[in-house]
Amino acid sequence: MGFLLDNMDLLLEGLWATITLLLISLIFGFALAIVVALARLSQSKLIAYPTFFFTSVIRGTPLLVQIYIYYYGLGALFSQMPGIRSSFLWPYLRDGYWYIAFALIVSTAGYLGEVIRGGLLSVPKGEVEAARAFGMTATRALVRVRLPRAIYLLTPTLAGETVLLLKSTALASTIAVVDLLGAANRIRSMTFEVYKPLLLVAVIYLIMTLLIEHIFKRIEKRIPVKA
């Protein structure tokens, strides 16, 4: 395992990139997914139909294709705009890290939006009606009753989606971002160790997956909503 000690900094850099991509995508993607779910349930066709189109496109096209469109399409377009190249945004817009983060956020919003929509529809109407009977407004009932209840019902599904999101971060290596897989590939090219770096990264992903499942189990037990 000499390659591990010699390349610890590179592995830690890749691990940090993977963790931050996961957290950024999960936090902002989940927030956007709630908006998407509510828009899908809207009575207004001007809101519901475009959101349905959004989720259909995101869920119906490969994530790797979306990443390439953002990075090679929008990235090339931005590079040809002098106003952007001279702005404070350019250091971010030329960095593949932020394109993969954006792609993961949008993908998470598309997938989780439909999941949360299903969860909101599965909340018994009697619980919402009881909240309204206590004088809650529709918005307060949504925030205090309906949404927490839906999240409680969806906790196992959200755990699975988070694990899938973790594995999706490995696509960052396809646009030269040094995540865990990207770090492993660099170590393989420098040391000619074919399997050991990949096995090490696989173990790290497995540990992170088990940790995610443990966290969601703890969350499920702590959510103050009765089944």
29 in Cβ contact with 104 (< 8 Å): yes
178 in Cβ contact with 140 (< 8 Å): no
Give the model confidence (pLDDT) of 37-71 as tens digits. Answer: 999 998 899 999 999 999 999 999 999 999 999 99
* Cα separation, 158 vs 198, whole angstroms: 27
What is the residue-wise DSSP string for 196-209?
Answer: HHHHHHHHHHHHHH
Residue type, 201: V
* Cα separation, 76 vs 78, whole angstroms: 6
Domain ranges for the chain, please list them: 21-177
Read off the pLDDT band of 214 (50, 70, 90): very high
In terms of CATH, what superfamily is 21-177?
A: MetI-like (1.10.3720.10)
34 pLDDT above the threshold of 70: yes
4 pLDDT above the threshold of 70: no
Give the model confidence (pLDDT) of 102-126 as tens digits. Answer: 999 999 999 999 999 998 888 877 7
Q: Which residue has the higher pLDDT, 126 or 30?
A: 30
Give the model confidence (pLDDT) of 64-92 as tens digits. Answer: 999 999 999 988 888 888 888 888 888 88
Joined together, the tokens standing for residue 99 give: 């394109």
Joined together, the tokens standing for residue 39 give: 């828009």
- Side-chain-side CA neighbours of residue 63 (13 Å): 23
Give the model's pLDDT for residue 223.
Answer: 64
| Contacts for 98 with CB less than 8 Å, ≥ 6 apart | 92
Of the candidates 145, 146, 138, 141, which has an alpha carbon nearest to the alpha carbon of residue 117?
Answer: 146
Whole-structure pTM value:
0.89
